[in-house]
Amino acid sequence: MNKLRTAAIAALAAASVMPALAARPESPKDKIILHAWSWSLDTIAANMKQIADAGFDFVQTSPVQTCFVGDNGGMALFSKPGDEVQGKWYYYYQPTDWKIGNYMLGDRDDFKAMCDSAYKYGVRVIVDVLPNHTAIDHTAVLPGLDNAVGGHENLYHANGFNPIRDYNDRYQCTTGEMGGLPDVNTENPDFQYYYLQYVNDLINLGARGFRYDTAKHIGLPSDPLDAKATQNDFWDVATGRKGVKGLSLLMPDSLYIYGEVLQDRNVKEAEYAEYMDQTASSYGHVLREVLASGDARNHDLGNWRHAAAPEALVTWVESHDTYCNAHESAGLTDDQIRTGWVFLTAREAGRPLFFSRPEGSTRENYWGTNRIGNRGNSEFFHPEVVAVNKFRHAMAGQPEELIISENGAVAEVARGNAGAALINFSDKKQKVKINTTLPDGAYTDAVSASEFKVKKGILEGTLAPLGTYILYAE
């Protein structure tokens, strides 16, 4: 949930990166995540068959731990003073205890029922977890949590109420207060034990993965120590490398874990990669620039801009933060987002995450019907989204080649000689003659039935504005 300044992201995106590390062997390749943002647990369960039919392998929930009750428990995604319905989506990012269930998304029984539904349809559940901080109003923390960690004062870092001034100072970044959220002493063994009980409870009920919010704000072994810490070992405990007070992470080899490690100038991507997959935030920024301009010529879309291996990255066109906070991506149309999604998901590497925009949202009304718990809009099962999701699965193991048209408007993601995705980034019709790895012959798009032909390694056809096309070799 931490934010990067746009200028910093852009500067990093343009910079060269260090050689990639090897992928972690447990990374589930060719899998796709639906971020069911702010959907209630009941809503996710009710839509599980459609999620599976759309080709998603994982569904990611919003945080389900006990949270701060803000705006008198109002259920608006976002409200201003005087609005008829009050509420803020981000209250579930303000823990008051680490127990399953909150007023925004559902209780423990709802979580179990949702996981049972996921199991039935072959979908795995990722839970958004956030051990880094508590609610801004830390007096709302429940007594059980305070008692478990040896008193309220032991819940926080010694530096935990000092605001971060420099996000590239690793001591400030990993021990300081972020956006008013006081920083938890994640190195306290009593806290680790208490938190791990919560995670294991989620696993026992059916969770099979975790997204660690604000992961770059939790220290690595090489980071400076807070005055209350003797070692930075949270990630060793959270990923199952070691236990704490006789308790260990359940099923560590069966879980998919990734961290929100938003990129900046002094982020230890290589060290985080030893523990988990990471978010490719800089790549998403570059892809959105291409979508906004309709032109890929001045952007190297083959460069993932990350120290970790491409296979160890969670990729997105947009995230809930880019949509909600400064509305960085919210001005892009659904058509543009879908075009970016087809390009991203057709690629060989990465773990694509599809952010479900709010129900009824428009480019004039970003919040749409403005209700927490409702299903997002229908884009997650749009025929072009479904087509590329299935294409990704079908192309497993096929190498990719990216080919950009001379005018930068059209991209081809060729996957060996087995198939290709064509993407028109522009809002104008494009007639193309573009190199391809597809065998000679006639091809028909899986969704629109548009026809293309390949002769002597050249693919020829016409693409509608912001159109996408999936082609399979027979």
Check whether 453 has a pLDDT greater than 90.
Answer: yes
- CATH number for the domain spanning 465: value is 2.60.40.1180
Residues 410 and 275 reside in one and the same domain: no
Question: Residue 21 pLDDT more than 60?
Answer: no
Residue 290 shares a structural domain with residue 431: no
- Whether residue 7 is predicted with pLDDT greater than 80 in this model: the reply is no
User: Among residues 397, 413, 444, which one ends one of the domains?
Assistant: 397
- Confidence band for 29, pLDDT divided at 50, 70 and 90: confident
Grouping H, G, I as helix, E, B as strand and the rest as coil, residue 24 is coil
In a domain? residue 223: yes
Report, in angstroms and rounded to the nearest whole number, the Rg of the chain calculated over CA atoms: 22
Burial of 391: CB neighbours in 10 Å, binned 0-12, 13-18, 19+: buried
pLDDT of residue 8: 34
What pLDDT was estimated at residue 304? 97
- Estimate to the nearest angstrom the gap between the alpha carbon of 291 and the chain centroid: 19
- pLDDT tens profile 395-412: 999 999 999 999 999 999
Q: How many domains does the chain have?
A: 2
Round the average pLDDT of the chain to a whole number and report it.
Answer: 94
Res 186 pLDDT > 90: yes
One domain for residues 417 and 435: yes
332-349 pLDDT, tens digit per residue, is: 999 999 999 999 999 999
19 has pLDDT over 70: no
- CA dist 285 and 303 (Å) reads 13
Mean pLDDT, residues 234-245 taken together = 98
Are both 245 and 334 inside the same structural domain? yes
pLDDT at 191: 98
Containing domain of residue 460, as a range? 402-472
195 HSE (CA, 13 A, CB side): 27
What is the reported pLDDT for 364? 97
Domain for residue 1, yes or no? no
pLDDT beyond 60 at 4 = no
Q: Tell me: the pLDDT tens digits for 89-135?
A: 999 999 999 999 999 999 999 999 999 999 999 999 999 999 999 99
pLDDT tens for 204-214 read 999 999 999 99
Q: Does the pLDDT at position 443 exceed 60?
A: yes
User: pLDDT at position 9, please?
Assistant: 33
pLDDT for 28: 64
pLDDT at 197 over 50: yes
Q: Which active-site residues does the annotation give?
A: 213, 260
- pTM (2 decimals)? 0.94
Sheet of 441-444: strand order equals 430-435, 458-463, 451-455, 441-444
